[in-house]
Chain A
Amino acid sequence: MDFFEIFQQEWAFRALLASSMVGLMCGVLGCFIVLRNMSMIGDALSHAILPGVVFAFMIVGYSALGFFVGAVLAGLFAAVAITWIQRNVKTKNDAAIGIIFTAMFSIGVMGISKISKNDGVHLDLKDFLFGNSLGVSDQDLILTGVITVYVLLSIVIFYRYLFVTTFQPVIAETMGISVRVIHYFLMLLLSFAVVASLQTVGVILVVAMLITPASTALLLTARLPYVLTLSGLIGLFSAILGLFFSIIYDTTPGPAMAITATAFYFLAALFSPSKGLIFRWLQKRKLRLRIQTEDILKEAYRLQQRGKLTKENLDKRVGFSTRILQSHLQQLRKRGFFAKGTLELTEKGKEEAKRMVRAHRLWESYLVTQMGLTEEQIHEDAEKYEHLLTEEILDEVDAELGFPKTDPHGSPIPTKRGYPANPLLNLEVMHSAKIASDQLNEHITAQMWQLGILPDTTFEIKEKSSREVKILQGEKSIRLPRDLAGKINIEATEN
């Protein structure tokens, strides 16, 4: 039998309708339960409604509306009792929840066994615990429909109130929103949802429909409206698929739905693009490999500067196994950082190594001058951060520090790639300096010639704007584009 054939049968179609509504509603409502760390309360409330349903049965017989009223009253009673204990008795919060719900659940179970003994009426405890979505009546459908619409509408209408009270209760209070009223309102919605779920998943498993889809959605997206929508959809599909499987394999629908939701959860936990375990593992691995590569380059550069670049020395400096070093070196040669077949850094390799050294020394300077750490404290920290700082942040740090020449230990800080040691742009307005005789490259010198900026002449900075820099050279004022100003090398004048 395929999917559509199954649900052409009336009993199955009713079950499908009821389950879909429950899945959707619990998925959406559950987000707030999870975000408020109230999963335990959700569990408690679902158990605590049992005596309400049983008493309703004793009084009015088998009636969906009767169950509804009884369950909501019992649910609210439990919510109030739990909160009262938490506020007035010195009992731990979750213990208070446990005490109340087990007591109420026990009363419910005793009630059921009494009914089935005395009256010989058919009221199966199992149906309450795990649901029986295969026997959904018209009355059940209508009730579930009304509850679903009511719960979803409430969440839409009171969205802002729910958002603020969940995120930061104290701010809600200062805005005149009563956190307590919203709490009980949510408890009310929760009781409604539990009653509606009674028929499909039962009291034990309703908590799965509340927290599992919500937790799944939270792994996948990071904005509340999307979380609510996604969680609702996951709840909906878990219910539909669970029901389908339960009919095919002839098992109880409630557990099948719960298991389907759990399967979705684990898929998300593994494969979520940002929070999934696999993604995080890959990221960590990538970072580790990059750090190793960068360390090799940096150490090779340092050794080469001192003329001591041999395989043994490099091996000693980087401190990981020779095999790993070998495979990294092979990679680095392929990428053109090392000359083929040798241990000689190429120009490209040197540039990259300089970038690392710049990051390391700038960060050390930053820690000492801005954070007030001592020289001994900083090396290890810089060793870690040099790999994480982006070029953008480094430039900011550089500017913040006033473009230092040396680090706290006195070692020179390399300049940014393609930038001179003393860019004209870094000179402050009203200050003067000399255009250096050595410039970065011919290209820069040619541009300077065109503007009439000559080497070894003194000038003063008049103005700096976001697009250009105005300088005064003798009597002549010259405007030059800002990016060129960043590339012209200058020297301090001797006075």
Chain B
Amino acid sequence: MESTISVKGLSVSYDRKRVLTNIYLDIEPGLIYGLIGPNGAGKSTLFKAILGLIDTNSGKIFIEGKSIEAERKRVVYVPQRDDVDWTFPATVYDIVLMGRYPHKKMFQRMDDSDREIALQAMRDLGIEKLKDRQIGELSGGQQQRVFIARAMAQEAEIFLLDEPFVGVDVTTEEKIIESLKRLAAEGKTLLVVHHDLATVNEYFDKVILLNQRLIAYGDTEETFSEENIAKAYRSQLPILHKTGLI
């Protein structure tokens, strides 16, 4: 199958410190990928490189054979919740509707079909009743769902989600994974940075194990092995043993 994202020999460093070294990846459509690795493994950096937000030392990234600049509309990013000013004067609806912005030219107004798409995304995530709430009046899980609804409203092909399950309630986790699986079934490509090793098998079709270098990637069943996890988490192994995860 033709890959939607292909990373060829990517290296990135910040202030002369290497973060990613010589990464090669081919991401296929219609699957959910778990991006897994310890803190500082370069997971967020890989996302930023794919999104074209940072300078890379070497290597190339293609989105369906083209550069990210040409494909911006088709790639959507769901960042972590923490860097946001939740007192901002905006409602849930305002934020979800933001997903329609890339589809609009400067002087174009939002029309009924944009509003319907935004409403549908909110329904899918079970937040339509919160439509007119100021975003600060939501629980952490609801806030996360707002961001995912916005991403869905953008109708992109590729979804990059940075730790969407951190600090959310059980209902939210279910709603999110349900939505992601539906998107994958529609043929979208999903990449998810994930921390909870216990749910990896259940959530992801394929995994990418990263620790500055690419440790392993492929089908979850084969790739997410004790041996590979140990390689990726080498420095944190004693702690992991204690938690009983491996």
Inter-chain contact B89/A227, CB cutoff 8 Å: yes
Q: Is A171 an interface residue (CB 8 A)?
A: yes
Q: How far is the CA of A311 from the CA of B91 in the complex (A)?
A: 50
Q: Which of B73, B83, B85, B89 contacts A223 (CB 8 A)?
A: B89
Task: Give chain B's interface secondary structure class.
Answer: mixed
Task: Give chain A's interface secondary structure class.
Answer: helix
Nearest Cβ in chain A — how far from B133, in angstroms?
9
Inter-chain contact A160/B101, CB cutoff 8 Å: yes
Inter-chain contact A176/B102, CB cutoff 8 Å: yes
Inter-chain contact B94/A223, CB cutoff 8 Å: yes
* Interface window among A162-170, A354-362, A380-388: A162-170
Inter-chain contact A224/B90, CB cutoff 8 Å: yes
**Contacts of A171 on B, CB cut-off 8 Å?**
77, 79, 98
Nearest Cβ in chain A — how far from B5, in angstroms?
14
Q: Is B104 an interface residue (CB 8 A)?
A: yes
**Contacts of A167 on B, CB cut-off 8 Å?**
84-85, 88, 90, 95, 98
Nearest Cβ in chain B — how far from A75, in angstroms?
25
Cβ-closest chain B residue relative to A169: B83
**Contacts of B90 on A, CB cut-off 8 Å?**
163, 167, 222-224
User: Among residues 412 to 433 in chain A, which have CB atoms less than 8 Å away from a CB atom of chain B?
Assistant: none
**Contacts of A218 on B, CB cut-off 8 Å?**
89
Inter-chain contact A224/B98, CB cutoff 8 Å: no
Inter-chain contact A370/B170, CB cutoff 8 Å: yes
Inter-chain contact A176/B79, CB cutoff 8 Å: no
Inter-chain contact B69/A173, CB cutoff 8 Å: no
Q: How far is the CA of A295 from the CA of B176 in the complex (A)?
A: 39
Inter-chain contact A221/B106, CB cutoff 8 Å: no
Q: How far is the CA of A221 from the CA of B134 in the complex (A)?
A: 10
Inter-chain contact B51/A174, CB cutoff 8 Å: yes
Inter-chain contact A176/B98, CB cutoff 8 Å: no
Nearest Cβ in chain A — how far from B166, in angstroms?
15
Inter-chain contact B134/A174, CB cutoff 8 Å: no
Q: Is B119 an interface residue (CB 8 A)?
A: no
Inter-chain contact A170/B53, CB cutoff 8 Å: yes
User: Among residues 101 to 116 in chain B, which have CB atoms less than 8 Å away from a CB atom of chain A?
Assistant: 101-102, 104, 106-107
**Contacts of B84 on A, CB cut-off 8 Å?**
167-168
Inter-chain contact B89/A168, CB cutoff 8 Å: no
**Contacts of B72 on A, CB cut-off 8 Å?**
174-176
**Contacts of B76 on A, CB cut-off 8 Å?**
174
Nearest Cβ in chain A — how far from B66, in angstroms?
14
Q: Is B19 an interface residue (CB 8 A)?
A: no
**Contacts of A370 on B, CB cut-off 8 Å?**
170
What number of A residues sit within 8 Å (CB to CB) of B? 24
Q: How far is the CA of A170 from the CA of B76 in the complex (A)?
A: 11
Q: How far is the CA of A166 from the CA of B94 in the complex (A)?
A: 13
Inter-chain contact B88/A160, CB cutoff 8 Å: no
Q: Is A472 an interface residue (CB 8 A)?
A: no
> What per-residue 1/0 map shows which CB atoms of A151-166 lie under 8 Å from chain B?
0000001101001101
Q: Is B75 an interface residue (CB 8 A)?
A: yes
**Contacts of A166 on B, CB cut-off 8 Å?**
88
User: Among residues 185 to 234 in chain A, which have CB atoms less than 8 Å away from a CB atom of chain B?
Assistant: 218, 221-224, 226-227
Task: Contacts A157-B106, A160-B101 given; indicate if A174 touches B89 (C-beta within 8 A).
Answer: no
Nearest Cβ in chain A — how far from B129, in angstroms?
12
Inter-chain contact A222/B134, CB cutoff 8 Å: yes
> What per-residue 1/0 map shows which CB atoms of A400-412 lie under 8 Å from chain B?
1000000000000
Task: Contacts A168-B79, A171-B79, A370-B170 given; indicate if A222 touches B104 (C-beta within 8 A).
Answer: no
Q: How far is the CA of A160 from the CA of B106 in the complex (A)?
A: 9
Cβ-closest chain A residue relative to B69: A176
Q: Which of B53, B88, B89, B98 lies at the interface centre, i.e. has the most chain A CB atoms within 10 A of its CB?
A: B89
Nearest Cβ in chain A — how far from B88, in angstroms?
6
Q: How far is the CA of A174 from the CA of B71 in the complex (A)?
A: 10
Q: How far is the CA of A251 from the CA of B91 in the complex (A)?
A: 43
> What per-residue 1/0 map shows which CB atoms of B47-91 lie under 8 Å from chain A?
000010100000000000000010011011101000111001111
Cβ-closest chain A residue relative to B171: A400
Inter-chain contact B102/A222, CB cutoff 8 Å: no
Task: Contacts A157-B106, A167-B88 given; indicate if A174 touches B101 (C-beta within 8 A).
Answer: no
Task: Contacts A157-B107, A164-B101 given; indicate if A174 touches B88 (C-beta within 8 A).
Answer: no
**Contacts of B95 on A, CB cut-off 8 Å?**
167
Cβ-closest chain A residue relative to B132: A223
> What per-residue 1/0 map shows which CB atoms of A313-343 lie under 8 Å from chain B?
0000000000000000000000000000000
Q: How far is the CA of A163 from the CA of B84 in the complex (A)?
A: 13
Q: How far is the CA of A157 from the CA of B84 in the complex (A)?
A: 25
**Contacts of B106 on A, CB cut-off 8 Å?**
157-158
Inter-chain contact B51/A222, CB cutoff 8 Å: no
Q: Which of A163, A168, A222, A400 contacts B91 (CB 8 A)?
A: A222
| 3 A-B pairs closest in CB distance | A222-B134, A176-B72, A174-B77
Please list 10 pairs of residues, one from A and one from B, whose beta carbons are closer than 8 Å in the complex, sorted by A's number: A160-B104, A163-B90, A167-B84, A168-B84, A170-B79, A174-B53, A174-B76, A175-B102, A176-B73, A222-B91
Seen from chain A, the residues whose Cβ lies within 8 Å of a Cβ on chain B are: 35, 157-158, 160, 163-164, 166-168, 170-171, 173-176, 218, 221-224, 226-227, 370, 400
Apart from A157-B106, A160-B101, A170-B77: 8 A-B pairs, beta carbons within 8 A: A160-B104, A163-B94, A171-B98, A174-B77, A176-B72, A218-B89, A222-B91, A226-B89
